[in-house]
A and B are shown apart, each in its own frame.
Chain A
Amino acid sequence: MATVQSRSPAGVTGPGRAAIAARQLRTDRWWLAPAVTVVALAAFVVYATWRAFTNTDYYAAPYVSPFYSPCLSENCVEMQGGPNWAVLGDWWVLSPALIFLALPLGFRLTCYYYRKAYYRAFWASPPACAVAEPHQRNTGETRFPLIVNNVHRYFFYAALPIAVILTYDTVLGFRNAEYEWGHMGLGTLIFLVNIVLVWGYTLSCHSCRHIMGGRLRHFSAHPVRYRLWTWTSRLNGRHMELAWGSLFSLALADLYVYLLATGVFDDPVLF
């Protein structure tokens, strides 16, 4: 024990610093935000894992769960006009959700906001500002595996076509259960909200902001990209809200499809 202590860089209680035994002196409820993050993210992960592996109840005409879109293997259920193109053939026998879920998952895992959230909440690095973290060492994102977070922008590129497909799914929601166009149900509204949030989250991404114009030295020489950058910057200010909002709306859209598919209730038709 003694050797461990002498070796450890003691941080705020270390030599030279003001001698204060307490590792933090905050009097507010600093633990609340990380606690909520843990609960909310854990709940989503449990729910999403369950749903992704069940391989059932992901289609209720005309709605397809965003977890299962696009659905590219032979074992997908039939969706008329839907995003099921059996390009992978019949060798894929697991849940088709698992093929593409990795991309949005990776997008969110490497997202600058979610990084902050899970570093704070799950890794306590730090749990809150000016609250000492429990680790002996901290190399930040300089080493494997965390250095991989720098590939965020490639997940952003990948997330774009997925968002396009989800948009297509939302358009398909303007049909009724008999595939006739020009109708709307409660599900259509949920899908609309979801797709707005998904696009908002995707386009407010820091990588997107960089690609749109952040990388430029002279905005004045690129007026269009400057405008795009200004626009994404404004969205970027709401990145956290969009991250949570889209996470919940994805789960809600899926849950809605699940409830329809399992016959808990029928989609209330608006017109």
Chain B
Amino acid sequence: MTTAAKDSGGSGDGGPPAAGYQVRLRVWRGDADGGGLAEFTVQAHEGEVVLDVIHRLQATQAPDLAVRWNCKAGKCGSCGAEVNGRPRLLCMTRMSALPRDEVITVTPMRTFPVIRDLVTDVGFNYGKAREVPAFVPPEGLAPGEYRMAQQDVARSQEFRKCIECFLCQNVCHVIRDHDDNKPAFAGPRFLMRIAELDMHPLDAAAEQDLDRRAGAQEDHGLGYCNITKCCTEVCPENIHITDNALIPMKERVADRKYDPLVWLGRTIRRRRG
């Protein structure tokens, strides 16, 4: 407790001391072999986020509590976890947004294999990232000769705000509730990456006979998405993943795949050819 007092607030130089109170936390502790929710009572201060309280827990009561974090400013996307059952960044979840008199439950992301405590193995996502064909630079344009209009890059720029916290991947029921879909489904983050490249004004994939739309549907499981929008709901960057990336991709796929006229034409051509 003395340590907790010494640590109190980090208000330190300048500012007035912040008011403190006790919070009850239930934190999942364990590893791949098993574990459970452990209860703690920890000091919290005004203006703090859940990650501050987890850090205080670490410094005072559970020094080996594993938690992945990095920038603590909502910019790197390392500290994804679930607070009261909802996927959140620990560093962007303010204590004041949670009921003060109730126990706060913090668990690791439940879609990925757990490593230890609040840390999960997010390798699935890095694997999926490798499967998306990279940007294809246009031939005949030297570095420095790229000309793109702001309105043409704006759509892809929205998707490039992604901090890869993988909360959307974590919340998506297609893989959260169905391990067997993992091989076939890239998840919202990487379907959005395909949309980003498909909307890139200078991507030359088509010139290389690379059809990103076909790839999205056939190799990356766009059809599994039933647009229930949880990815958008949890996105800490407020990217409109469903409305601006996934649905437009579905429409682009429909352009070539589910358009009856196009289908008819193609079938006739195939018969003749």
**Chain A residues within CB distance 8 Å of chain B:** 9-12, 14, 16-20, 24-28, 112, 115-116, 119-120, 125-126, 129-133, 135, 137-142, 146-147, 150-154, 206-207, 209-210, 214-215, 217-220, 226, 236-237
Contacts and interface: CB of A to CB of B under 8 A. Distances in A.
Interface of B: 28, 30, 32, 34-37, 82, 84-87, 102, 105, 107-108, 110-114, 120, 149, 151-152, 171, 173-174, 176-181, 199, 201, 221, 223-230, 233-234, 243, 247-248, 250-255, 257-258, 260
B85 A138 contact: no
A28 B102 CA distance: 12
A16 to B, nearest CB: 4
28 contacts: A10-B179, A12-B110, A12-B176, A17-B110, A17-B112, A17-B114, A18-B110, A18-B114, A20-B110, A26-B86, A27-B84, A28-B86, A119-B227, A126-B173, A126-B228, A126-B230, A129-B87, A129-B171, A138-B173, A140-B224, A141-B223, A141-B226, A142-B223, A207-B251, A210-B252, A214-B251, A218-B149, A219-B151
What are the 3 tightest A-B residue pairs by CB atom distance, in nearest-first order?
A25-B85, A140-B224, A220-B149
Contacts of B251: 153, 206-207, 210, 214-215
A138 B152 contact: no
A184 B170 CA distance: 55
B201 A218 contact: yes
Given A125-B226, A147-B223, A9 B179 contact: yes
B85 A220 contact: no
Contact of A19 (B36, B102, B177, B224): B36
Contact of B248 (A115, A129, A142, A210): A210
B102 to A, nearest CB: 7
A24 B224 CA distance: 22
Nearest to A12: B110
A153 B254 contact: yes
A16 B177 contact: no
A115 B230 contact: no
A73 to B, nearest CB: 27
A25 B34 CA distance: 18
A260 B86 CA distance: 49
A117 B43 CA distance: 41
A146 B90 CA distance: 37
Contacts of B174: 138, 140
A96 B111 CA distance: 51
A116 B229 contact: yes
Contacts of A152: 254
Given A19-B35, A142-B223, 5 more contacts: A116-B227, A141-B226, A218-B152, A219-B149, A236-B243
B107 A130 contact: no
Nearest to B84: A27
A210 B110 CA distance: 35
B219 to A, nearest CB: 13
Contacts of B254: 150-153
Contacts of B260: 151, 154
A11 B178 contact: yes
B151 A226 contact: yes
Nearest to B206: A217
B110 A138 contact: no
Given A24-B85, A130-B82, A130-B171, A150 B178 contact: no
A226 B35 CA distance: 54
Contacts of A115: 226-227
A214 B82 contact: no
Nearest to B109: A18
